[in-house]
Amino acid sequence: MITEPEMFIPISPLLPLLLMVLVFLIHVKGGSFCLCWQCLLYNLHKNGHKQASDLSVIQSGVRKVLSKSKAAAILRLAFHDAGTFNLSDNSGGMNGSIVYELDRPENAGLSKAIKILDKAKREIDDIQHVSWADLISVAGAEAVSLCGGPAIPIKLGRLDTREPDPQGRLPEETLDASDLKRCFLRKGFSTQELVALSGAHTLGSKGFGNPNIFDNSYFKILIEKPWASSDGMSSMIGLPSDRALVEDDECSRWISIYADDEARFFNDFKNAYAKLVNSGASWRNI
């Protein structure tokens, strides 16, 4: 059974400090000034470094269930949760709504990815609560890193929604380049970011190089246009939307840049992914 998103009940970040000050005053009255002051400083230091340990716990839990063969599905899960964002009303985005949307045609197969992460979530929740939105964001970044891609720093603190996002917000596989650019512009992403994020298709079984290695093969193969060959297998490479990118002058320019410079692609993908998983998120106070 999939772990349901939990409502986060905010507790004032000042409460631990107020309690420590109260203890401090009690100890001062009893003549234990030095000892209590040292305890106060220790607890403030410990609380101030809580965020880093939170991330390491989530990363550790994800790594226990993640493998290269599962990486493409996990990364796709992150894209489909975050991809519902609409800039005009700041709705959708990375909010864990994907757990309510698994029966939609565009999310076919993602229930397996949720089951993989649910195992990690149960273990992590035994240590500290993690929202689905944070877990999926971190898991997508870990999938990229595991397969040889860039390390992507992930901010924590996303809250989960209790309902699905509106339908029809993910880009369809049959869109041409102009429609893709308009779709991503509505989400606040430039053409460069669209092309960089499309490089995620280097993972999986779409015919863009080794399906378990995150590199710039996607762009190199797009330039070659193997689907134009009379070879039946080559005609199956990529989605219609992938093929459309290389026919657009603006997109083609970035495809060539990334095909020639993998480091540039890694850096731009890292930044675009971080922006993607932050888009539309509601944040708790940390």
Is domain 177-272 in CATH 1.10.420.10, yes or no? Answer: yes
Q: Which of 6, 270, 267, 15 is nearest to 134 (CA)?
A: 6
Segment 57-116, tens digit of pLDDT: 999 999 999 999 999 999 999 999 999 999 999 999 999 999 999 999 999 999 999 999
Reported for 110-113, long-range contacts at CB under 8 A and 24+ positions apart, including other chains, are 110/73, 110/76, 110/77, 110/80, 112/73, 113/70, 113/73, 113/74, 113/76, 113/77
Is the overall model pTM greater than 0.85, yes or no? no
How far is residue 211's CA from residue 71's CA, in Å, rounded to a whole number? 9
Question: Per-residue pLDDT for 272 more than 70?
Answer: yes
Lowest mean per-residue pLDDT among 23-27, 53-57, 169-173, 282-286: 23-27
Is domain 51-169 in CATH 3.30.43.10, yes or no? Answer: no
Same fold, 51-169 and 177-272: no
Mean pLDDT of 139-151: 99
Q: Is 171 helix (H, G, I), strand (E, B) or coil?
A: coil
Mean pLDDT of 158-166: 97
Question: So which residues are the catalytic ones?
Answer: 80
Beta bridge partners of 86: 91
Domain regions of the chain by residue span: 51-169, 177-272
The pLDDT of residue 228 is 78
List Cβ neighbours of 254 (8 Å cut-off, separation of 6 or more): 191, 192, 195, 196
Residue 6 or residue 150, greater confidence: 150
Question: Per-residue pLDDT for 42 more than 60?
Answer: no
Mean pLDDT of 174-200: 97
- DSSP letters, 118-139, are HHHHHHHHTTS---HHHHHHHH
SS (H, E, C) 23-50: HHHHHHHCCCHHHHHHHHHHHHHHHHCH
Question: Per-residue pLDDT for 40 more than 80?
Answer: no
The pLDDT of residue 286 is 61
Q: Is 19 helix (H, G, I), strand (E, B) or coil?
A: helix
Contact by Cβ (8 Å): 226, 237: yes
Q: Which residue has the tokens 């340990």?
A: 53
End-to-end, the C-alpha distance of the chain in Å comes to 29
Q: Which of 129, 147, 159, 152 is nearest to 58 (CA)?
A: 129
Residue-averaged pLDDT of the chain: 86
Question: Per-residue pLDDT for 141 more than 90?
Answer: yes
Segment 192-235, tens digit of pLDDT: 999 999 999 999 977 888 999 999 999 999 999 888 775 666 66
How far is residue 153's CA from residue 7's CA, in Å, rounded to a whole number? 25
List Cβ neighbours of 211 (8 Å cut-off, separation of 6 or more): 72, 203, 204, 205
Share of the chain above pLDDT 70, in %: 79
